[in-house]
Chains A and B, each alone.
Chain A
Amino acid sequence: MTSADYFIKRTIQGVFTFFAVMSITFAMIRLMPGGPMDFLRAQMSQQVGGQMTQAEMDRKLELFTNMHPDRPLHEQYFGYIEHVLSGDLGRSIWYNEPVAEILGAAMPWTIFISIVSLVVIYAAGVSLGAIMAYIEGSKFDISSSMLSIVITSVPFYIVAIVLVWFLGYQWGLFPISGQFGENVRPGYNTAFIQSILYYGALPIISLVLAGFGRIALSMRGNSIQTLGADYLRVARLRGLSQRRIALRYVARNAFLPMYTGMMISIGTLFGSSIILEQIFSYPGVGYYMFRAVSSRDYPLMMGTFLFITLGVIVGVYIADLTYGYVDPRAGGGGEREAF
């Protein structure tokens, strides 16, 4: 498969996935009996004391959910898709603002936390795992393997609670809510960037602590396997430098199988923001999703879901397309799964 074919295939797949997700959200809002649509209707007739006519109510429902309840189902569906594609995700009932605006403001923060965590998790995990594999069987290796197993078994939100408990409340070393300090001016200045890092530190540390052990263990396993491979003996016989062998031969081949896992991690980290941002009162996408769920704000909830999914689709898409560069054997990545 040429790389152009692969590119087209992946693009179609990404677009198709987004359509599938849109259809799922549509089905969940519209078709569930006693579900969101009925709930919103009841909520509205309560708010205005039953003074609204059916037509007015329908108009309002359309404003909030992008769906016109009295039209045939397929028209509603295409109307909804059209709205979503033009960036209109409906209106939040709780905040009474367009969902897209709320999420547009929140998204960068979640991306920031997720991407920084992802990079640190993989950097720390891969280096630790490689070191452990090189001195396999040593005291350091055994104790860090143990530590990695134990720390991996701690869910990230437990780490987050412990961190906010001690570093936040008890010792007051880190802020317990917000994205940056009150008296810094947003923009490209050092104070602002420092403040962002300071406020983002605890969420990032929680994800990293709970996540790096797993990566270290897989890297260690892969490296040990690679170290036993025949081509390494050949490399040594060729008299290549240790450094070249370690980086180009071992590290590279041990890391490649983990690249796909890294793509999935993007989605996992995005998803964990729902719990994480709640613990740290960090107003990102997950924070708004939780608010939406607890106040039954369905337009905001579904909008957030679509937004997060779109983020993941784009992330996976980029990662997938770059796989060919990381692993030249993949030749555009097309044949990875084939036998």
Chain B
Amino acid sequence: MSTEQPQSPFETISETELSREDRYRQLFNGYVGTPFRIIWTDWRARLGLAIISSFLLMGTVGVSLFDPPRASEGPLLLGAFQSWAFPLGTDSLGRGILGQIVYATPAMLKMITAGALFATTMATGWGLFAGYKGGTIDRLMMSFVDVLMTIPGLPLVVVLAAILEPRNPYLVGIILTINGWAGFARQLRAEVLKLRQNSYVEASRTMGISTFSIITKDILPNVMPLIVVSFVTRARNVIIASVGLYFLGILPSSTLNWGLMLNSAYTSGGIYSPEQAHWLYAPMITIVLLSLGLLLFAQGCDRIFNPRIRARHAKKSENESSDDASFHGETM
């Protein structure tokens, strides 16, 4: 054992060493475990998470539980809650409505994931980089974002959909958020402008750590909650836009789809005749439920992670307050 003292604190070697397993456990706790436990304390987030999970289950396990719906598998236009084989009734071709809703879920989930992932990645990369770099690069990048933000989203998507005729759900998801990420990129940049003058960022910079490392290690963790909330909000926008466009028949479709169900129920006279009403209700309630789940989850997360509200939260522990400062006019 050496009795020599290390010359400077930078040369000290830690006395304990973390095993690989410990490190992974710490990472897991930091990024998944603890946030999850915090989220779980808010009823909004809990309910939202429950709804989202049930949709995820429906899209994965649910599909294998029964056969895909086909024409004349049951009586025509059977009402809801009248038979065990077709709990939600059947449509005018005798297809089970519950089956159609379940079988439409996987494509919907793919679309939502692709869209939300694309938009969030673009916005995060763009916003963090522009905000951290500043100067001319920032101005150029933000001018691009401003142009993108001004182009109305839905008409642009309609035009693109009409020309490209996307059928792949992943592609549809990306087209639906083609300019939907711009607003969030701007918001993130504003956040980074505040963060980048913190002393620990400055310390990293003086130590000569690369821009990429500073952005991912020092800045990104601070804006992670914002990113999660935006991801969920974006997912909600994708689902609302896609169902709306499928309902209009602007997006071409070969698979089952809630918007398409809504369209067939609507055009075959669901709003005139009461015996078809159940056919119209089912997809409508499904969309509203998923949308509600995502909204509740986003609000719950926002309430817990938003630093401004978190402070309030700690002060007056359990008062019913929600804050939606991050909710700018982004829904369509």
Contacts and interface: CB of A to CB of B under 8 A. Distances in A.
A48 B315 CA distance: 77
Contact of A224 (B247, B323, B327): B323
Nearest to B315: A228
Chain A contact patch, size range: 35 or more
Chain B residues touching A, range: 35 or more
Interface string A20-52: 110011001000100110000000000000000
B224 interface: no
A164 B247 CA distance: 15
Contact of A136 (B321, B328, B329): B321
A35 B312 CA distance: 55
Interface in A208-241: 214, 217-218, 220-222, 224-225, 228
Given A161-B271, A218-B325, A301 B332 contact: no
B163 to A, nearest CB: 6
B177 to A, nearest CB: 14
A4 B236 CA distance: 40
Contacts of B153: 267-268, 271
Contact of B320 (A141, A150, A257): A141
B159 A271 contact: no
Interface in A184-222: 214, 217-218, 220-222
B249 A13 contact: no
Contact of A261 (B186, B190, B329): B329
A226 B280 CA distance: 44
Given A154-B288, A161-B284, A339-B194, A268 B319 contact: no
Interface stretch (B66-74, B102-110, B144-152): B144-152
A309 B322 contact: no
A173 interface: no
B156 interface: yes
Contacts of A161: 262, 266, 271, 280, 284
Interface of B: 44, 142-143, 146-147, 149-156, 158-160, 162-164, 183, 186, 189-190, 193-194, 197, 236, 240, 243-245, 247-250, 262, 266, 271-272, 280, 284, 287-288, 291-292, 294-296, 299, 308-309, 312, 319-325, 327-332
Closest 4 CB pairs of A and B: A221-B323, A271-B154, A153-B292, A261-B328
Given A17-B147, A158-B288, 7 more contacts: A21-B147, A149-B296, A150-B292, A157-B244, A262-B329, A264-B329, A337-B189
A305 B156 contact: yes
A278 interface: yes
B53 to A, nearest CB: 17
B308 to A, nearest CB: 7
Interface of A: 13, 16-17, 20-21, 24-25, 28, 32, 35-36, 136-137, 141-142, 145, 149-150, 152-158, 161-162, 164-165, 168-170, 214, 217-218, 220-222, 224-225, 228, 257-258, 260-262, 264-265, 267-268, 270-272, 274-275, 278, 289-290, 293-294, 296, 301-302, 304-305, 308-309, 312-313, 316, 337-339
A290 B163 contact: no
B152 A312 contact: yes
A271 B155 CA distance: 6
30 contacts: A32-B163, A32-B164, A35-B163, A136-B321, A141-B320, A149-B299, A153-B296, A154-B288, A155-B288, A161-B266, A162-B284, A165-B280, A217-B322, A218-B325, A221-B309, A221-B321, A260-B328, A261-B328, A267-B152, A268-B153, A271-B154, A274-B155, A289-B155, A290-B250, A293-B159, A294-B249, A302-B159, A312-B150, A337-B186, A339-B197
Contacts of B189: 337
A155 B287 contact: yes
B282 to A, nearest CB: 12
Contact of A17 (B146, B163, B186): B146
B150 A267 contact: yes
A263 B244 CA distance: 23
Contact of B325 (A155, A257, A304, A312): A257
B280 to A, nearest CB: 8
Nearest to B272: A169
B329 A265 contact: yes
A61 to B, nearest CB: 17
B325 A214 contact: no
Given A142-B320, A169-B272, A316-B150, A217 B158 contact: no
Contact of B150 (A220, A265, A309): A309
A153 B244 contact: no
A20 B248 CA distance: 28
A221 B322 contact: yes
A268 B249 CA distance: 20
B235 to A, nearest CB: 13
B295 A149 contact: yes
A274 B291 contact: no
